[in-house]
Structure 1
Amino acid sequence: MAEHVFHLTAHWPGGRNDSGKIETKNLQTAVSIPPEMDGPGIGTNPDEMLLGAAATCYIITLAAMMERSKIEKLDLSMESEGIVDVTNGVITYQKIIHRPVVTIKQNPSKDISTMIQRLAIKAENSCMISRALKGNVEVEVILTIKKQ
């Protein structure tokens, strides 16, 4: 078994409404509670970082699967949103919705469109972050295929 270890250091010198910082090998940023949750909104926050982890894992997985399947795309972009419920003071990360847009050459065969649809779903089930969230956070994929 090969094991990969990722490291993060965090510093939070103040209280709830202050800010701190996190640092990894390739990311350094301020963090705080978002204004939507009555925080100062300095830097990023755990909700955005979870969404970022899920989105980057998904889009990289989908791109790799399309490449392995020899699907020639002109572009792949995506918007994602994280839905957080706050009920009676309990905060629950409910759902992540990915909206990938795959741009392919004009007039692809129906088989290519069907294969892209299958890969879009398979990528969500294969992504390490999606698998880690399974059972806790629903992840939905809404695919758009554009022809250029």
Structure 2
Amino acid sequence: MITHDFTVQTLWNNGRNSTGEFKADHLNGNISIPSSLGGPGNASNPDELLVAAASSCYIISLSAALERARFTDVTIELTSIGTASLSDDEQFKMEKITHRPTISVNETDKLHKRIDRLIEIADRNCMVSKAIRGNVEIIIEPIIN
């Protein structure tokens, strides 16, 4: 088995209303608690980073599935929405992530016949989807142009 480590360094000073920093090989940024949850809201937060990870993983997996199915000249625009809930005992949980890919391709009739299988393959092959499956519902609502 081949393994690969993904390293992220994170720094946080002071209390919950502070702003932290994270750094990886190709990603650097700041983090804070969103203002909607009583934080400063002046940086990315772990919840939107989770949705961004799921979105970027899914679009790459979908692109690979379309390529393997021999679709060429493909453009994908993806909107991903993470829906979280705050329970009565103040536990915050990501309930679902909805991916809405708009796929532009020359062979729309051919893709319409195969889209259900291809979106399933892409979801099954996405490492982030695998990591959250069973804990976060994943919904995929494709549009073909």
What's the TM-score, normalizing by structure 2?
A: 0.94
What's the TM-score, normalizing by structure 1?
A: 0.92
Separation of aligned partners in 1, 2:143 and 2:77: 10
Equivalence for 1:43: 43
Give ranges in structure 1 of 5+ residues lacking alignment. Answer: none
Residues 73 and 102 in structure 1, CA contact (< 8 A), matched pair in contact too: no
The structure with the greater share of residues assigned to strand is: 1
Deviates more, 1:116-125 or 1:20-29: 116-125
Question: What SS does structure 2 have at the residue aligned with 1:18?
Answer: coil
After the TM superposition, which segments of 4 or more aligned residues of structure 1 sit over 4 Å from their partners? Answer: none
Alignment of 1:87-126 (within 5 A): 87-88=87-88, 89-105=90-106, 108=107, 110-126=109-125
- The total of aligned residue pairs comes to 144
Separation of aligned partners in 2, 1:73 and 1:116: 16
Separation of aligned partners in 2, 1:84 and 1:123: 23
Question: What SS does structure 2 have at the residue aligned with 1:95?
Answer: strand
Residues 80 and 98 in structure 1, CA contact (< 8 A), matched pair in contact too: yes
Separation of aligned partners in 2, 1:72 and 1:111: 12
Question: What SS does structure 1 have at the residue aligned with 2:95?
Answer: strand
Specify whether residues 87 and 5 from structure 1 end up closer, same or farther in structure 2 by C-alpha distance, changes over 3 A only. Answer: same
Equivalence for 2:18: 18
Residues 59 and 78 in structure 1, CA contact (< 8 A), matched pair in contact too: yes
Separation of aligned partners in 1, 2:25 and 2:132: 24
Determine what percentage of the aligned residue pairs are the same residue.
Answer: 35
Question: What SS does structure 2 have at the residue aligned with 1:16?
Answer: coil
Deviates more, 1:33-42 or 1:65-74: 65-74
Separation of aligned partners in 2, 1:30 and 1:122: 33
Equivalence for 1:138: 137
Q: Which amino acid letter does the alignment assign opposite residue 96 of structure 1?
A: I
Separation of aligned partners in 1, 2:143 and 2:124: 18
What RMSD in Å do the two structures reach over aligned CA positions? 1.2
Equivalence for 1:34: 34
Q: Which amino acid letter does the alignment assign opposite residue 127 of structure 1?
A: C
Distance apart, 1:73 and its partner CA? 3.8
